[in-house]
Structure formats: C-alpha cells, structure tokens
Amino acid sequence: MKRVMILLPTLDEAEGLAQILPRIPVKKLSMKGWEIETLVIDGGSEDGTKDIAERFGCDFMLQQGKGKGAAMRLGFLQFLKSNCDALVMFDADGTYHPEEIYKLLSKLENADVVVGDRLRGAMDPDAMTRINYIGNHVLTWIAVALFGAPMNDLCSGYWAFSRRTLMELKLNSMRFEIEAEMYTSCAIENLEMAHVPIRYSKRLGEAKLGSVKDGWNIFRKLLVRRIFSTPHETRLGEGNLTIQ
C-alpha cells in the first residue's frame, strides 16, 4: 500500500469540514492501493473546527500566526517528515469535491504535480463571483506569459504532489499567493505539471480571501518570482517556517 496525506487548511471552517470529511472516499482509495492520513492545519479557528477534525480522526495542528500560505508550508514540512508517498491538498470550505481525490492521484503516475482545473471543469453557476472568475483567468494568463509552463487554473486550491516534487519546491508565501508560488517554483524546477478538470461549488461559511487585495498580492508574487526565482535563503523544509 502507498500512503497519501490529505492536507486541509482551515480558518473557521467547522461547517465545511463536517461536510467534506465524511465524503473522503477511503474505501475506493484503499481498493486502488492508497492508505490515507488527513492533516488539518488551522489558523486559530473559534468555531469548533478542531472538534470536528478530531471527531473524524484527523491529525490537527495549530499554526503560529495566520495565513493559508504559511499553513500549507507547515503542512508540506509535516509531509516531508512523514512516510507518505503523495500529498493532496484542497480547501476545507466545500468548494472542492473529495470524491475527485483519486482522479488527481491517478494522474500523478505520469506527472510530478497535478492541478485540479476549475476553469475548464464543471463550475457550479453560483460558485464564483464574476470578478473572481475574470481575475482567475487574467492571473492564469499572466502567469503563463511570464513563466511559459502550462497552467490552466493558477489559483486552484486542489493540487496533488509526489514526494520528490515537494522536496524541490521553494516557497515563502504567507497568504493566498501560495498557489501562484507553487506554480512558479514548479516552472523554475522544470517539473511536469498535469491538469484534470474538476467540479467547483459555492463555499460554505465565510470567504477569507479579499478579491482585489489578494489578487494584487498574487500578481506581485508572479513578478517577484520572475525577477528573483527563489525566495531569499528560504527553502521548503529548512528555514521557511518563520511565521510573522
């Protein structure tokens, strides 16, 4: 059996977590040869997220400070300390469908990284605001123009990685620019990126991302990584966990 770590970032996501955890297809994955472990990295939720995570048998870690980017990097570091072979990450807000985990995992056999593609997938009509929809397309287009490597949906939160890939990534993002930096790092390391169309649904609970401010931060990250390809003295698994 191979092992996959499912990494879920949470900030007041009790409702979403309670909805997605029972839907993780444990049996199907086991039949396909995958054992799972689930790690929730929390940014200090005050709505009982921790209770839900523990009730469903997840490992739970409280990050220092806040930020999805810092949380994911902490999760990646935990993954590298574990004996898992692959990692699948997605948001815990009910937008992504745990039933599709195997779709990403199976594609990982022929690629280093697999990205769940919402923009060419099945997007529910109420899943994304118009400004976010346009912003996602524009940022994806800019990323490809700057880095060349194929990318269909830069800000997708549904990714699968092999262990070898995660060892290569060099990241220092604190917030929602983390996915853009994952892309730039994969492009710079010449890693093979594949896409699978996925379904995307309306989130449960309240959004933490501010469209304009976070869109700007993502754009800025792309520009910075075009000029300085790796973070200054920061490498995943070494000095990158200084969380302000």
Of 38, 63, 156, 240, the one binding ligand GDP (CB under 6 A) is 63
User: How, if at all, do strands 34-42 and 59-62 pair?
Assistant: parallel
Of 10, 38, 45, 95, the one binding Mg ion (CB under 5 A) is 95
The minimum distance between CB 1 and ligand GDP, in angstroms, equals 28
Please state, in angstroms and rounded to a whole number, the distance separating the CA atoms of residues 75 and 8: 9
Other Cβ atoms within 10 Å of 109 Cβ, number: 10
Extended beta strands in the chain, E state: 2-10, 34-42, 59-62, 86-89, 113-123, 159-162, 193-200
Enumerate the β-bridge partners of residue 35: 3
15 counts as binding Mg ion under rule CB under 5 A: no
Residue nearest to ligand GDP (CB): 43
100 counts as binding Mg ion under rule CB under 5 A: no
The minimum distance between CB 85 and Mg ion, in angstroms, equals 27
Mark 92-131 with x for binding to ligand GDP (rule: CB under 6 A) and - for no binding.
Answer: xx--------------------------------------
User: How, if at all, do strands 86-89 and 113-123 pair?
Assistant: unpaired
67 counts as binding ligand GDP under rule CB under 6 A: yes
Closest CA relative to residue 121, chosen from 139, 93, 141, 97: 97
The minimum distance between CB 128 and ligand GDP, in angstroms, equals 9
Q: Which stretch binds ligand GDP (CB under 6 A): 133-141, 164-172, 206-214, 219-227?
A: 206-214
Interface with ligand GDP (CB under 6 A), residue total 21
What secondary structure does DSSP assign to 9-59, as a single string? EESS-HHHHHHHGGGS-HHHHHHTTEEEEEEEEES--SSSHHHHHHHTT-E
Q: Which of residues 1-40 bind ligand GDP (CB under 6 A)?
A: 9-11, 13
The minimum distance between CB 207 and ligand GDP, in angstroms, equals 4
Please state, in angstroms and rounded to a whole number, the distance separating the CA atoms of residues 28 and 106: 12
Of 3, 66, 226, 235, the one binding ligand GDP (CB under 6 A) is 66
Site for ligand GDP, rule CB under 6 A: 9-11, 13, 41-43, 63, 66-68, 71, 91-93, 157, 176, 203, 207-209
